[in-house]
Structure 1
Amino acid sequence: MGDFEGRHALIFAAAPETEYEYIRTFLSAHPDVLIACADGGLRHARALGLHPDFMISDCDSMPEVEGAEIVRLKPEKDDTDTQGCLREVFRRGCREATLVCATGGRVDHMLANLSLLEEARALGGRLTVLDRQNKLVLHEGGLQKFKMPEVYQYFSIVPLDAVLKGVTITNAKYPLQNATVTRAGMVTISNEATAPVFTVSIEQGSAVVVFSRDLTAPL
């Protein structure tokens, strides 16, 4: 457990992925990251020449296992492999994780993976979901400041609760002041920061903050 304590975990899920440059960029900025694979995520780690520190698998989509530590699961279970991987790296001492190869392919798998943003909070940690076009983090309510990453053009606030109350957005092209935002009529999509740091305050409810870029924009 000591090798996990306080480290940032990079978790590979098994969604289809062939563009790895965004992961290489992340690895360059996090040279000491712990490599964790959920079942078929091992294929992506291998494609990048990485040897997992940790792997969890029921061997349904990847018959092979590899890693300094391996946890084998039965295919007949309630949790997904990616959910189990997040829980285990946090249980072993990680408190921050980034999930990659998690948004392509089946929509049910993608939605399950995005739900892990809230699960990470319940486990006492933080999760970022990353792909070549987007970066997603959880807004837990209250006032939060965000530094606008240079590689992204837009940010959106996507409600997790049916209604968000008291939404205030500053330093943005489309500011809000004490607004009510609902899932049925979102007015918080494709905003743009007007300063290096913008703020989002939510008095009631939680949401996902999505940083995004057009595919034509360079990394």
Structure 2
Amino acid sequence: MKRVIVVGGGPKSYIPDVKEYACEECIWIGADQGAEVLVEQGVEPDIAIGDFDSVSEQSLAEIKKKSKQVLIFPDEKDETDLELAINEALRLSPEHILLFGVTGGRIDHSQANMQLLYPLMKEKVKSTIIDRQNRVELVSAGEHKIEADEFYPYVSFLPVTLEVTKITLEGFYYPLDQAYLPFGSTLCISNRLIEDTGTFSFESGILLVIRSTDLPT
């Protein structure tokens, strides 16, 4: 599977060790400060992209030294650095895109980054946002399997359309049978699997599927 790993410039405290997600065919893209994160974690970016207004001149010099390709854009532009990185990722025809450094900090950035899952879903590219506490995917109508994960025990389903119809959950602690889930409902928050594999299905709408864990205090 061709996997592209994109690291954005979100708070570093939210970003796990990205090398744990490496694979033989992985391509690494750092967006702005995300390229700095890759270098700091010992990964040489295949592509570093952005306006780099969030890194020092010394750090940018190190990014240029370590990266195979550096694409520098002006500060004032129509896309965020992350969107530019995702566009580069799509040109590589990936089967799966992992996104790190896209949550935490400013809510407007986090929300915009979540919405960037939509064009990826339309392109039928599996895409996952990952931070130290969550895994997030955007899913279209149909039937889907989901595997139990001890590290992310909680599973929540949030509608991002005005409604999600006939949602059915099987293999979950709180099952559902063709339920109606309107935008703004908390019906499907903090469920969990009771089988090794569960299924969820729905007839129409789009769901944000969030797998999460509680961090120690």
Gaps of 5+ in 1: 1-5
TM-superposed CA distance for 1:103, in Å, is 0.5
| Secondary structure in structure 1 of the residue aligned to 2:21 | helix
Cα deviations by residue, 1:20-68 (Å, 9 ceiling, x for unpaired): 54534323xx354211001111221122111100111112223524321
Match of 1:92 in 2: 92
Q: Work out whether 1:23 is the aligned partner of 2:7.
A: no
Q: 2:185, 2:92 → 1: CA distance? A: 41
- Map 1:128-167 to 2 at 5 A: 128-167=128-167
| Secondary structure in structure 2 of the residue aligned to 1:111 | helix
Q: 2:202, 2:159 → 1: CA distance? A: 10
Q: 2:74, 2:197 → 1: CA distance? A: 45
Match of 2:43 in 1: 50
TM-superposed CA distance for 1:112, in Å, is 1.0
TM-superposed CA distance for 1:110, in Å, is 0.6
- Map 1:109-188 to 2 at 5 A: 109-188=109-188
Q: 2:148, 2:138 → 1: CA distance? A: 15
Counterpart AA for 1:61: S
CA contact (8 A) 2:14 2:101 kept: no
Q: How many residues align?
A: 210
Two-structure CA RMSD over aligned residues (Å): 1.8
CA contact (8 A) 1:116 1:127 kept: no
Q: 1:100, 1:184 → 2: CA distance? A: 26
**What is the TM-score with the length of structure 2 in the denominator?**
0.90
CA contact (8 A) 1:87 1:123 kept: no
- Map 1:193-204 to 2 at 5 A: 193-204=193-204
Match of 1:73 in 2: 73
- Residue number among 2, 6, 25 corresponding to 1:11 in the alignment: 6
TM-superposed CA distance for 1:202, in Å, is 1.1
